[in-house]
Chains A and B, each alone.
Chain A
Amino acid sequence: SQELEQSPQSLIVQEGKNLTINCTSSKTLYGLYWYKQKYGEGLIFLMMLQKGGEEKSHEKITAKLDEKKQQSSLHITASQPSHAGIYLCGAVTWGTGTASKLTFGTGTRLQVTL
């Protein structure tokens, strides 16, 4: 079963509007990644969060990690057509032995209308 849940699954916003995407884990988080994927293309790294309460920004995109809630949120300010795509969160959980593994959520499909 999927350990990560993203919400919403899809989102249509008007250009200039703000939006938030959430990523919730059923297991303890040891780190969280955000990636963006253009339709039919590869994955673009946005940012990595490692500590509870950590917040990072990249241009108009801000992400925060809430360790206690096992949740991360990604916020886009003043959305633009270039923000359209699929946003994926990836959570680091413990594998077997001393190794950790990275699993992803189902993704959020974002469309930005003019």
Chain B
Amino acid sequence: NAGVTQTPKFQVLKTGQSMTLQCAQDMNHEYMSWYRQDPGMGLRLIHYSVGAGITDQGEVPNGYNVSRSTTEDFPLRLLSAAPSQTSVYFCASSYSRLAGTYEQYFGPGTRLTVT
């Protein structure tokens, strides 16, 4: 198993550009989520999904869109990038839609800079 994979590892965008951060898992996990990590802020939940076709907002959803058309993939879209979205983004997945029942597996992260 490859586990949770994220692409790209690094990305530089200009303000106003759009892009999609990719996240995939090959463990048939129901639960997938996106976090951003800023200095001194820990991890903040952006969006999460408990299965294909089901998504919900986390703590900081503004400026981000998600969809879950398959169990394996959970892309995060930035429609119009802003400097405030400069951060490290982590994707995570877990076996059950009940987030507290199994280990959460994290991807290696995507470091995004918006200039």
- Interface set of A (CB-CB < 8 Å, partner B): 2, 4, 6, 9, 30-33, 35, 42-43, 45, 48, 50, 88, 90, 92, 95-96, 98-107
Contacts and interface: CB of A to CB of B under 8 A. Distances in A.
Contact of B56 (A32, A95, A102): A95
A106 B58 contact: no
Contacts of B41: 106
Interface stretch (B13-21, B68-76, B77-85, B96-104): B96-104
A107 B108 contact: no
Given A42-B109, A95-B56, A101 B35 contact: no
23 contacts: A2-B42, A6-B42, A9-B40, A31-B100, A33-B104, A42-B106, A42-B107, A42-B108, A42-B109, A43-B106, A45-B104, A48-B100, A50-B100, A96-B56, A98-B97, A99-B97, A99-B99, A100-B99, A101-B56, A103-B43, A103-B44, A104-B42, A105-B42
Given A48-B103, A50-B101, A96-B56, A102 B90 contact: no
A33 B31 CA distance: 15
A99 B56 contact: yes
Bin the interface of chain B by size: 20 to 34
Contact of A31 (B35, B56, B101, B109): B101
Closest 7 CB pairs of A and B: A31-B100, A92-B100, A104-B43, A106-B42, A102-B99, A107-B42, A43-B106
Interface of B: 33, 35, 40-45, 48, 50, 54, 56, 58-59, 90, 92, 94, 97-109
Contacts of B56: 95-96, 99, 101
Given A42-B108, A42-B109, A50-B100, A102 B33 contact: yes
Interface centre among B42, B90, B107 (most CB of A within 10 A): B42
Overall SS of chain A's interface: strand
B69 to A, nearest CB: 18
A17 B56 CA distance: 43
